[in-house]
Amino acid sequence: MYYIVGIGCFIAGALAQYVFLIYLWPNRHKTYIWIYKFYNHRKLGEPCKTDLVLDRDGYSLGYIFNRKCAAWVAYIISKGSIGVDVERDDSFYADKDIPKPYRVEPEDFRNTGYDKGHLAPSASIDFSRKSNEQTFAMSNIALQHPKLNRQVWGSLENTIRNWACCKGKLMIIAGPIYSDNPKYINNIPLPSAFYKVVYSFKHNRSIGFIFPNENIRANKLWDYVMSVKNVEKETGQIFFSKLSNKKKKAKGELDVAWWK
């Protein structure tokens, strides 16, 4: 009798371990991804007025119709949110939330010589399949020089993910900058530059970057660093406007050594 009970317990234990290892542990992230889905990505304010604001699971954006592009995207990341890392589909698609006359199709970027540059990065927003798929909406994409996209812009995205692991939860805002008379490609204005600003909630520190839309190597990242206040002067936007007056002082301060 004890022999049979022992065998039954062994089988039950083996089965429980199998279920845990095959089904529960690989899908453990599904038990807490709802936390990241409900981040308020506009918590610190919208940097400028736009024609349409869209809230997605992993980011928010403000879209300008006549530019056929977002003026800004805002997203919050943390050590936990970037640590899930689901599989990605990498399929760009037209955003049906954008009115058709101002909507961009993936084919509009074909043979332009420019990349489909993510504003809210795919690799930073992948705590669920849906959140990651939403980063491939063309409303989150801009005409970006391929060497910029694959070199310094990608390097900064990776650097920010590292910061999220050691400097706490971060708010990031990014977007294109246009000249007074931009060149048009397939009826889409070409950005002259791109900006990105970062704020650390835990440490009340901020940092900004502006890159010309051209070939910039990854090792030149720190040549384009500046305070958030200076990014505001260059873009005409106001970042982190909902910070208290005391905390807003961080926008004019820049401690490069601390961020490095």
Q: What is the CATH number of the domain that holds 77?
A: 3.40.570.10
In the chain, the largest separation of any two C-alpha atoms, in whole Å, equals: 88
Same domain, 72 and 161: yes
Can you tell me which residue has the tokens 């039954």? Answer: 8
CB 175, CB 195: distance < 8 Å: yes
- Domain extent at residue 8: 1-31
Give the integer Cα–Cα distance in Å for 208 and 232: 9
Same domain, 155 and 229: yes
Give the integer Cα–Cα distance in Å for 10 and 201: 50
Same domain, 44 and 27: no
Same domain, 21 and 54: no
Same domain, 20 and 50: no
Same domain, 144 and 197: yes
Q: Is the pTM of this model over 0.85?
A: yes
Same domain, 7 and 46: no
The stretches in the chain having pLDDT less than 70 are 1-34, 85, 88
CB 63, CB 51: distance < 8 Å: yes
Cβ contacts of 27 within 8 Å, gap of 6 or more: none
Same domain, 94 and 185: yes
How many domains does the chain divide into?
2
Same domain, 51 and 18: no
pLDDT at 34: 67
Q: How far is CA 110 from CA 59, 105, 113, 246, in A?
A: 26, 10, 8, 47
Same domain, 52 and 5: no
pLDDT at 153: 98
Q: Centre a 10 Å sphere on the Cβ of residue 17 and count the other Cβ atoms it contains.
A: 10
How far is C-alpha 155 from the chain's CA centre? 13
Same domain, 178 and 214: yes
- List the 225-226 sheet strands across, edge first: 52-55, 60-64, 69-77, 170-177, 193-200, 205-212, 225-226
Q: Centre a 10 Å sphere on the Cβ of residue 36 and count the other Cβ atoms it contains.
A: 21
pLDDT at 104: 98
pLDDT at 90: 76
Same domain, 123 and 11: no
pLDDT at 4: 62
